[in-house]
Structure formats: structure tokens, C-alpha cells
């Protein structure tokens, strides 16, 4: 398999599609011809939010030059907004945020650290959740840190991420990612600037929303999207 190299001036979403990283549920009118996908955020009843579009950064991070293209765009946005000197260290949130964050740190000339991923007990039929461990890295008190993620979904997990990293006594100064797909938060979250290589809001639904409830009842949803076999199945359905 050959590495994917960005074309001069290539749109990042088109690059993502060339990396086989974008799933859009095919439809005939309002009828879905493929599965919904589960998102990390929760609805009012504690169930995973769902939608029709998934951006799978795992498919991009195997192509370092493609990751570099995302990092360069994010870095340029940081420069344009006068934020490039506002942080000392990039802290990557696994898995995709670790890959993207390390490349961002390289491009921006910053220090890099990352959290280890530890699974939480999760009920069957729900998306796996994690806690973060930073015990293997040293931080100075007040060190200015940019948190790097691959995809900002709806920022529901961001509070716990911020809380876990703040115990290291660093100062979190901004959030940076490859894609911000949140339908609510665009350029800021709780007074923290949000910078993303791609800013594109994706609709998301509670599971009893009439727009998705029939599909949920029929089991037409993929919970483990990034599983290699499941992703291949989603892409095959999309291409039919």
C-alpha cells in the first residue's frame, strides 16, 4: 500500500476522502441505505448520540505527509490568530490526537507530551470511554499547554479531559484539532480558543429523534466504527 501524499493546495476534506477516512451514510430520499454511526457524546438519557457522517482520523494517521498537511493548516491558523506563541507544549489525546499533536508540535517547534489511554468499564452496546494518564511526563507548574485531539465531536468529554490534565498544575490555554465537527462550539469553548484544521458542523441526533428512531429500532447502526472490518463494511455500503 502506497503512502498518500497531499497534492499542492489540496482541500483537506478531499485529502481525507483520498485516505478513505470519510463515511457518509447513503440515502434514497429520507431512507438510509447504510448504517448510522455512534458518536462519543451522550443524549439526555445517557445514550450515545448518532449521525450519518464519520471522520475516521485513524485512516489518515497512517499517512504522515497527510497528517503533516493537517498540522500545517492548524499551525497557520494559530499564527493568523496570534496564538502561536501562547503555548509551550502540545499534549496529544490518544489515539489520533497523539499523532496529530506530535506533528503539530514538530511544525510549530513546541514540546510534546501525550496521555495514555485507559478504558473505563462500559456497558454493552455503548461506545467505549476512557480516562487519561499523564504520569510518565514531567510538567512545570503553570506550563502553557495546548490540548490536541483529532476530532472535536460535541465537547461533552472535554470537561473531564481538562480536569484530568489540570491536576498536573499546567495552564491549559487552547484546544486544537484536525476537525471540529461540533454543531454548537465553533471558535471557543469555555473561554478557551478552539482551532481546527477543518471546521465543519455535522448534525447529530438523540436516539429517539424521529429522524433516526426507526433505524435505531431496526439495529441499523454501527457502534464500533473504527474496527477494521466494520469500517470496510461501511465504505463498501457507501460505494454501492
pLDDT of residue 207 exceeding 80, the answer is yes
pLDDT grade, residue 1 (50/70/90)? confident
The mean pLDDT of 120-146, rounded to a whole number, is 78
Summarize the confidence of residues 132-146 as an average pLDDT. Answer: 85
* Structure confidence at residue 22 as a pLDDT band (50, 70, 90): very high
* DSSP per residue, 162-184: HHHHHTTT-EEEEEEEEEE--SS
In this prediction, residues 60-84 reach a mean pLDDT of: 97
* Overall average pLDDT of the 92-120 stretch: 91
Domains and CATH numbers, the chain: 12-58+202-239 (no CATH), 63-199 (3.40.50.2020)
Phi/psi of residue 111, each to 5°? Answer: -75, 155
Average pLDDT (180-200) is: 94
Q: What is the pTM of this model?
A: 0.90
Please name which of 70, 129, 133, 78 lies closest in space to residue 102, comparing C-alpha atoms.
70
The length of the chain, given as a count of residues: 240
Q: Are strands 89-92 and 144-152 parallel, antiparallel or unpaired?
A: parallel
Across the chain, mean pLDDT equals 91
237: burial class by Cβ within 10 Å (0-12, 13-18, 19+)?
middle
Q: Does residue 42 register a pLDDT over 90?
A: no
pLDDT-based confidence at residue 222 (cuts at 50, 70, 90):
very high
**Are the CB atoms for 51 and 39 separated by under 8 Å?**
yes
Spatial distance between the Cα atoms of 209 and 47, rounded to a whole number of angstroms? 12
Residues 6+ apart with CB under 8 A from 229: none
Of the candidates 87, 145, 86, the one whose C-alpha atom is nearest the C-alpha of residue 114 is 145
| pLDDT higher at 118 or 194 | 194
Query: Residue 160 carries which DSSP code?
Result: H
> In this structure, how many other beta carbons lie within 10 angstroms of the beta carbon of residue 37?
24
Amino acid at each position: 500500500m502506497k503512502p498518500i501524499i497531499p497534492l499542492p493546495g489540496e482541500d483537506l476534506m478531499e485529502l481525507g476522502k483520498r485516505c478513505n477516512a470519510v463515511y457518509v451514510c447513503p440515502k434514497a430520499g429520507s431512507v438510509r441505505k447504510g448504517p448510522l454511526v455512534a458518536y462519543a457524546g451522550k443524549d439526555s438519557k445517557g445514550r450515545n448520540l448518532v449521525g450519518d457522517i464519520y471522520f475516521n482520523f485513524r485512516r489518515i494517521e497512517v499517512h504522515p505527509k497527510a497528517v503533516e498537511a493537517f498540522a500545517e493548516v492548524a499551525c497557520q491558523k494559530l499564527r493568523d490568530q496570534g496564538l502561536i506563541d501562547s503555548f509551550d507544549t502540545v499534549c496529544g489525546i490518544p489515539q489520533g490526537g497523539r499523532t496529530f499533536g506530535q506533528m503539530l508540535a514538530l511544525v510549530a517547534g513546541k514540546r510534546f507530551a501525550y496521555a495514555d489511554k485507559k478504558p473505563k468499564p462500559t456497558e454493552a452496546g455503548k461506545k467505549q470511554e476512557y480516562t487519561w494518564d499523564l504520569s510518565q511526563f514531567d510538567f512545570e507548574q503553570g506550563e502553557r499547554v495546548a490540548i490536541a485531539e483529532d476530532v472535536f465531536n460535541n465537547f461533552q468529554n472535554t470537561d473531564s479531559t481538562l480536569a484530568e490534565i489540570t491536576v498536573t498544575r499546567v495552564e491549559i490555554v487552547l484546544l486544537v484539532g484536525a476537525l471540529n465537527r461540533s454543531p454548537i462550539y465553533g471558535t471557543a469553548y469555555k473561554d478557551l480558543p478552539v482551532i481546527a484544521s477543518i471546521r465543519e458542523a455535522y448534525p447529530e441526533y438523540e436516539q429517539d429523534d424521529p429522524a433516526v428512531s426507526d433505524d435505531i429500532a431496526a439495529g441499523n447502526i454501527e457502534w464500533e466504527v473504527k474496527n477494521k472490518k466494520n469500517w470496510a463494511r461501511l465504505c463498501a455500503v457507501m460505494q454501492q
